[in-house]
Amino acid sequence: MASPLARPAASAPSVDAVVARMRALDAALPARDGVAVFNRVYLTVTEEVGRRLTAGEFPDPRAAGTLGVRFAQRYLAAVDAAGEDRRPPACWRPLFQLRRHPGVRPLQFALAGVNAHIGHDLALAVIDTCRTLGCEPAELEDEFDRVGELLVALEERVREDLMPGPDLLQIADPLTHLLGSWSLERARDAAWAAARALWALRYCTGIAEEFTERLDAAVGFAGRMLLTPLPG
């Protein structure tokens, strides 16, 4: 398996291309599948990034588009690995392993995917983007913050749409307790700190790879907790 810090390809697909790939996944996967639940959430974010790029709402469209694509590629690579019976990163394994578990609720699937993608993939996507564009992380901070604002707003909507109603309070009580311990905003802040650390360590290959492996494992552990099966 290639190192997660391996230099990305010189060219990247467009936002439209990754949106098309996610739409194809949405059409192919059963609606209740845990990966499908996350994919629908992430598709909405990526479509909104594309809309805002078209509308000229990012100060640096090239940087924003590259970051959005490199970010999406991390998730799609995990999907490909699972589909080819290879091991995806540790942060994604709980979602792929429990994707059909009847005791895991849609909200848990959605947030476990968001946890993997923000907690692990986002920092690496910043590094990928810096290498692609030949820039420093500080030059991407505005784009990082704008994409992050979209993600935080989306998390609120996901919780509203997927939280069980009052007729399922027996489920909702432990679910509320479980998911209340995780925050996308804190995860986003940690991702930015991790990206800066990895960039500072970019010439210390062994240390950077160990840092990335430990980050991957820690995010995977949090994902496992988010996917704790609940009584039906």
Check residue 153 and give its pLDDT. Answer: 74
The 3 state secondary structure assigned to the chain is: CCCCCCCCCCCCCCHHHHHHHHHHHHHHCCCCCHHHHHHHHHHHHHHHHHHHHHCCCCCCHHHHHHHHHHHHHHHHHHHHHHHCCCCCCCCCHHHHHHCCCCCCCHHHHHHHHHHHHHHHHHHHHHHHHHHHHCCCHHHHHHHHHHHHHHHHHHHHHHHHHHCCCHHHHHHHHHHHHHHCCCCHHHHHHHHHHHHHHHHHCCCCHHHHHHHHHHHHHHHHHHHHHHCCCCCC
Per-residue pLDDT tens listing for the chain (232 residues): 556 666 565 556 899 999 999 999 999 999 999 999 999 989 998 999 999 999 999 989 999 999 999 999 999 999 999 999 999 999 999 999 999 999 999 989 998 999 999 999 999 999 999 999 999 999 999 999 988 888 877 777 776 766 655 544 444 456 665 666 678 888 999 999 999 999 999 999 999 999 999 999 999 999 999 999 987 6
State pTM to two decimals: 0.89
Check residue 30 and give its pLDDT. Answer: 96
